[in-house]
Amino acid sequence: LRWKPFEIPKAPQKKTDFVSGLYTLCGAGEPRGRNGIAVHIYVCNTSMIDRCLYNSDGDFLIVPQQGKLLITTEFGKMLVEPNEICVIQQGMRFSVEVFGETRGYILEVYGAHFELPDLGPIGANGLANPRDFLVPVAWYEDRQVPGGYTVISKYQGKLFAAQQDFSPFNVVAWHGNYTPYKYHLEKFMVINAVAFDHADPSIFTVLTAKTTRAGVALADFVIFPPRWGVANNTFRPPYYHRNCMSEFMGLIKGHYEAKEEGFQPGGGSLHSMMTPHGPDADCFEKASKAKLEPERVADGTMAFMFESSLSLAVTKWGLQTSNRLDKNYYKCWEPLKSHFNP
């Protein structure tokens, strides 16, 4: 499945804040059992005024695509722009201020927290380094709200609201390591094949949420950043494959190397487990004939993937209500021809 860029409501005709513009695209499992994930899209044009949200179900990994977010939390403020990500962990109250038409993606996990992947033979340093993750500086407001402050809880997949007469962001100071945090994707130290062959995309893992099975991720957040391509005797784009993982892809900016047409910033695609997929016909022809010299790959772009060991079901909003499903996606592979010559 592939989706065209998700539409952002126009202000002032339809004022929409972060919570009212939050839509679930697909997911698996459920929060009551503390095992599962969900992929959400947010589209908004208005800041949350005297409203905050906390997620009782799990953690949010937020990927802005258009428009920056000024996120106020009980720990302080974070300004998160496209090409950055942030994680709001379970139970943390937050409010989102926007500065115009805003869009992005969210990966939610139940029952696990995001952490850095095990580096194995890479060693002590590489991929996303701990030093590059930023946490808020303490900030507070001692503010009464006579008209009522709305606290929204996402609980068992539904939203519940309560009123209070003061701002919840009244935490003067904090200590500890259970915090919200952000990370700039340009800080990622890329590992890649420098001799031959095409390495698995796991080498691009920024954060992972583990299962109880060793080596099996509930969800991985993977990026495809600018890098050098130098492999010899190799078809350099992502190879054709089937996979025991579900792959949701989004695009922050630019184009994706395997599908330069049709896959647009603000859109998405889902390749379900064991469904064959790979580069479109144009990419195959170009890469098959390209002279294998050192070349820059993905400059000016940033694609990413939410990958999960669970089988994802698509919501009615994703299939119908959003009206963004690209029903011609399959046609990008129709021109592929067999070049086998025994």
Q: List, as residue ranges, the binding site.
A: 241, 247, 256, 277
Q: How far apart are CA 249 and CA 270, in angstroms?
A: 6
Q: Is 198 a catalytic residue?
A: yes
Query: CB-based contacts of 174: which residues, under 8 Å, 6+ apart?
Result: 74, 75, 138
CA dihedral 302, 279, 39, 62 (to 10 degrees): -10
Q: Report helix, strand or coil for 329.
A: helix
Q: Which of 40, 113, 184, 198 is catalytic?
A: 198
For residue 319, CA distances in Å to 50, 102, 315 come to 33, 22, 6
Q: What are phi and psi of 282, to 5 degrees?
A: -60, -45
Residues flagged as binding site for Fe cation? 241, 247, 277
The SS3 of residue 220 is: strand
From CA 270, how far away is CA 290, in angstroms rounded? 28
**Coil, strand, or helix at residue 148?**
strand
Distance (Å, whole) CA 271 – CA 1 = 7
Structure token pair of residue 302: 């940033």
Tell me the binding residues for homogentisate. Answer: 256, 277
Catalytic residue set: 198
